[in-house]
Chain A
Amino acid sequence: GQNIDQPTEMTATEGAIVQINCTYQTSGFNGLFWYQQHAGEAPTFLSYNVLDGLEEKGRFSSFLSRSKGYSYLLLKELQMKDSASYLCAVETAGNKLTFGGGTRVLVKP
């Protein structure tokens, strides 16, 4: 079966850094996605990691360790608009995505 774990909720202050962890145990692995989802809206793509290491994209970075079944999403210089849910998803054969439950991030002034 597929198991993807991420924290339910995190709170951080505007301007700070927050790291959202995601651990997974899946049968097969093609890559790992991170999505952002604001309340009442569709998820939007943030990053896709296939190889081990850190991928940086502006204020957001994503890290993957395939041997440890572990990824994190790093959000720097937090802004109020970053308050949202962040979804970790593992891609397996056939482009199938299995999602974690999502982490709700609340940014406080």
Chain B
Amino acid sequence: DVKVTQSSRYLVKRTGEKVFLECVQDMDHENMFWYRQDPGLGLRLIYFSYDVKMKEKGDIPEGYSVSREKKERFSLILESASTNQTSMYLCASRGGNEQFFGPGTRLTVL
């Protein structure tokens, strides 16, 4: 079974803090994705990566950056957290025709 894990289920941070969200997959997938999910807006793609050290902007990259130093790990970074980044963050990994999601991190920025 493919497993996609995320470092935290719940996270509370203060405005201006630097925040790291980690995602690890165990199936040697090349493609990995970061989404945020908000009520009424659905899932929106923030960044994705085809391979180690490669990254592409998704639909809403502003205020975020990513890092892919190892194939199995894809990190999302909020350089200076703001209250409008309070959301559910979902990482996904793609193998064949299926995209597998992690359990999500619910981030609250105060």
Contact = CB atoms under 8 A, between A and B. Distances in A.
B56 interface: yes
Contacts of A87: 42-43
Contacts, number: 46
Given A95-B94, A98-B59, A101-B40, A45 B100 contact: yes
A44 B101 contact: yes
Nearest to B59: A98
Q: How large is the interface on B (under 10, 10 to 19, 20 to 34, 35 or more residues)?
A: 20 to 34
B97 interface: yes
A7 interface: no
Given A87-B43, A102-B42, A97 B99 contact: yes
Contacts of B44: 99
Contacts of B41: 101
Given A42-B104, A94-B56, A95-B94, A100 B99 contact: no
A29 B57 CA distance: 19
Interface string B33-63: 1010000111111001010000010110000
Taking chain A's interface residues, is the majority helix, strand, or loop, or is none over half, making it mixed? Answer: strand
B59 to A, nearest CB: 7
Contact of B99 (A45, A94, A98, A101): A45
A48 B59 contact: no
25 contacts: A41-B103, A42-B90, A42-B102, A42-B103, A43-B43, A43-B101, A45-B100, A48-B97, A87-B43, A94-B50, A95-B31, A95-B48, A96-B45, A96-B58, A97-B45, A97-B99, A98-B45, A98-B59, A99-B35, A99-B42, A99-B43, A101-B40, A101-B41, A101-B42, A102-B42
Interface of A: 31, 33, 41-45, 48, 87, 89, 94-102
